[in-house]
């Protein structure tokens, strides 16, 4: 199991370009669909918690999933797996990146990768929408967070905490769908 956790998260880490959010579609496919280590809802929860805790979202999420499926050692192994490809690639590129960074074809390649990452993130958002927004209250929370996030620079931690509080109040006060 530990080897499987390491290899799966190493694969996720090697295929992720563009940061933690870009990892979401790969995590969804590998962790939810293939390995069945988490559900879409759990993955959304891990991402939300990972965003409010110190550190990189991708590393935090890997740690949560690894710990759930392999205990503390599983969390450590998953974390090492997800960062291992980056360490290797960054170490290899560190000496030569400055030489190639100004080449037009390198800039164009990175521009293409960024566009692709946007599409992958959008697809993941659609999948998360289907599993997370299940009633009018979910739509209202989504709309409120979207609007406030577009017009202010409020910390994502505040959004997550207020949304969690809203969810608790809605469910505990017996508000109907």
3-class SS letters over the chain: CHHHHHHHHHHHHHHCCCCHHHHHHHHHHHHHHHCCCCCHHHHHHHHHHHHHCCCCHHHHHHHHHHHHHHHHHHHHHHHHHHHHHHHHHHHHHHCCHHHHCCCHHHHHHHHHHHHHHHHHHHHHHHHHHHHHCCCHHHHHHHHHHHHHHHHCCCCHHHHHHHHHHHHHHHHHCCCCC
For residues 125 and 138, membership in a common domain is answered with: no
For residues 58 and 29, membership in a common domain is answered with: yes
For residues 50 and 65, membership in a common domain is answered with: yes
Q: Which of 131, 149, 169 is the last residue of a domain?
A: 131
Least confident among 68-72, 88-92, 93-97, 150-154: 93-97
For residues 126 and 152, membership in a common domain is answered with: no
For residues 70 and 157, membership in a common domain is answered with: no
Answering whether pTM is above 0.75, one says no
For residues 97 and 171, membership in a common domain is answered with: no
For residues 92 and 108, membership in a common domain is answered with: yes
For residues 165 and 117, membership in a common domain is answered with: no
What span, in angstroms and rounded, lies between the C-alpha atoms of 66 and 24?
16
What span, in angstroms and rounded, lies between the C-alpha atoms of 9 and 31?
9
Range of the domain at 156: 133-177
For residues 122 and 165, membership in a common domain is answered with: no
Per-residue pLDDT, 75 = 94
For residues 7 and 67, membership in a common domain is answered with: yes
Domains held by the chain: number: 2
**Cβ contact 48:157 at 8 Å:** no
For residues 46 and 111, membership in a common domain is answered with: yes
Tokens describing residue 135: 């009633």
Taking 70 as the threshold, does the pLDDT of residue 175 lie above it?
no
100-127 tens-digit pLDDT:
878 888 889 888 988 888 887 888 788 7
42-92 tens-digit pLDDT:
888 888 888 777 777 788 889 999 999 999 999 999 999 999 988 888 888
For residues 80 and 148, membership in a common domain is answered with: no
């Amino acid at each position: 199991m530990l080897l499987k956790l390491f290899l799966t998260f190493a694969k996720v880490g090697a295929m992720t370009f563009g940061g933690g959010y870009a990892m979401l579609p790969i995590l969804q496919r590998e962790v939810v669909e293939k390995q069945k280590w988490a559900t879409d809802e759990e993955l959304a929860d891990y991402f939300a918690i990972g965003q409010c805790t110190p550190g990189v979202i991708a590393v935090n999420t890997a740690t949560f999933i690894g710990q759930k499926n392999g205990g503390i050692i599983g969390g450590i192994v998953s974390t090492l797996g997800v960062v291992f490809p980056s360490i290797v690639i960054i170490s290899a590129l560190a000496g030569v990146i400055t030489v190639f960074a100004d080449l037009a074809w390198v800039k164009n390649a990175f521009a293409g990768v960024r566009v692709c990452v946007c599409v992958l993130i959008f697809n993941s958002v659609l999948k998360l929408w289907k599993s997370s927004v299940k009633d009018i209250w979910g739509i209202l929370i989504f709309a409120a967070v979207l609007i406030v996030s577009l017009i202010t620079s409020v910390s994502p931690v505040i959004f997550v905490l207020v949304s969690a509080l809203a969810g608790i109040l809605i469910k505990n006060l017996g508000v109907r769908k």
